[in-house]
Amino acid sequence: MPPPCSNTPDPLLDSRRVTGAYLQPLLDTAREQGVSASRLCVAAGLAPDALSTLPDSVPAQRYIALLGAGARLARDPHFGLHVGEKVRPSTYSAYGMVLLACSSFGHAMQLTQRYESLAHDLGKSELALEGERARYEWVSHYPDANRHLVESVFAGIRVFGSWMAGQPLQAHLMRFMHADAGVDPAEYRRVLGVLPEFGAAANCAVVDAALLAMPVPNADTSLFPVLQEYAERQLEQRARDNDGIAARLRAALLRRLPHGDTRLAPVATELGLSARTLQRKLAEAGSSFQAEFDAVRFSLARDYLRQRELGLVEIAFKLGFQEQSAFTHAFREWSGMNPGAWRERAA
């Protein structure tokens, strides 16, 4: 029998996946510590040859079990940190490529919140400004999982972010919800740049808000529209691969947008659901009502902008914005550039 993950299994979470690319750092870390893929599989309750060829994806709970098995077999109390150190741009698949073309770190963080699920369904990133500080929080879908999950995520973010910046990125503080395991504080400082506080209310890191305005060195922003278009198609495919709730919502929003009634409650009623049930189903699919509404308007905006005869004011009203300035602000958040600049680049 396979060993259970430390979190309580929930049938609602069975569809959550981790891509093979995201799994690769775990396999590399285990191999470097003398743990073969076959031993790792057996310890996690898989067939010995289950990972002889890298799969397209694995169930999220299997990934968590593999993390725990790797730590046990390697006798490495910092296994999660070391997995995070192996992160590369390819680890995040299409989402990682989009980040490399972002104009700033703030833009990259915005898109992380939208495209993170293209790499894994393990949790969701959130960002909030608090004066001169910015607070990044990672909300795990598996809060009772082994501590290596959260530690691998935060180590990976710091390693990848530092690689993008061309210099080590330093957090003012970092907090983890799990308890202190009583292991080497120096290893946390080496990998994360700071010793985390344990037993906190959230998994989070606090950095200077000025970091968000920092340009991404050597970013090829000319590739951004192409890469984002590809990422959007990947999101749409994921919606079709799930129970279709996101696709059904988008279709409803497309029907209702010309009439202006795109509020949560009436849209949920049209889909035969309560507002709460719709929000829960979307969360299980790694999305939200606002994210899908933005995706619909962003997709329509790009189509309208390709029609040169449509002015920006007309496009704004077609999308339900009361003013062109509101449309311009929203489009800049979605794409990283003004609609006029996007139109010229698309041409």
Domains and CATH numbers, the chain: 11-213 (3.90.1520), 242-346 (1.10.10.60)
Q: Return d(Cα 107, Cα 122) in angstroms, integer.
A: 22
Q: What is the pLDDT of residue 239?
A: 66
DSSP symbols for 110-123? HHHHHHGGGTBSSE
Strand, coil or helix: what is 18?
Answer: strand
CA 192 to chain centre: 19
- For residue 17, give the H/E element and its range: strand 17-19
In whole angstroms, what is the distance from residue 89 CA to residue 102 CA? 13
| C-alpha to C-alpha distance for 111 and 161, rounded to whole angstroms | 14
Q: Supply φ then ψ for residue 197, to 5 degrees.
A: -90, 135
- Copy the structure tokens of residue 158: 């710091």
Q: Evaluate whether 214 touches 165 at the Cβ level (below 8 Å).
A: yes
Kindly report, residue by residue over 186-241, the tens digit of the pLDDT. 999 999 999 999 999 999 999 999 999 999 998 888 888 888 888 888 887 776 66
Using the Cα atoms of residue 151, residue 153, residue 158 and residue 163 in order, give the sign of their dihedral: positive
Question: Cα separations (Å) of 344 from 119, 124, 153?
Answer: 31, 34, 38
- pLDDT value for 17: 84
* Residue 167: Cβ within 10 Å count: 9
pLDDT at position 11 is 33
Residue range 246-289, pLDDT digits in tens = 778 988 998 888 877 899 999 999 988 899 988 888 876 667 88
- pLDDT score at 240: 65
pTM: 0.69
* Cβ–Cβ < 8 Å for 113, 124: yes
Q: How far is CA 8 from the centre of its chain?
A: 23
Alpha carbon distance 128, 144 (integer Å)? 24
- CB atoms under 10 Å from CB of 334, counted, come to 21
- Low pLDDT (below 70) residues in the chain: 1-15, 239-243, 284-286
| Predicted pLDDT of residue 332 | 85
What is the residue whose two structure tokens read 């939208």? 114
The pLDDT of residue 286 is 63
Please, what is the end-to-end C-alpha distance for the chain in angstroms? 58
The pair of structure tokens assigned to 73 is 């077999």
Q: What is the DSSP string of 208-267?
A: EGGGGG-B-TT--GGGHHHHHHHHHHHHHHHHHHTTSHHHHHHHHHHHHGGGT---HHHH
> What is d(CA 291, CA 309) in angstroms, rounded to the nearest whole number?
28
Tokens read off for 183: 């292991």
> What is residue 269's predicted lDDT score, i.e. its pLDDT?
92
The span from the CA of 318 to the CA of 295, in Å, is: 15
Q: Token digits for 41?
A: 């599989």
Q: Contact at 8 Å (CB) between 105 and 211?
A: yes
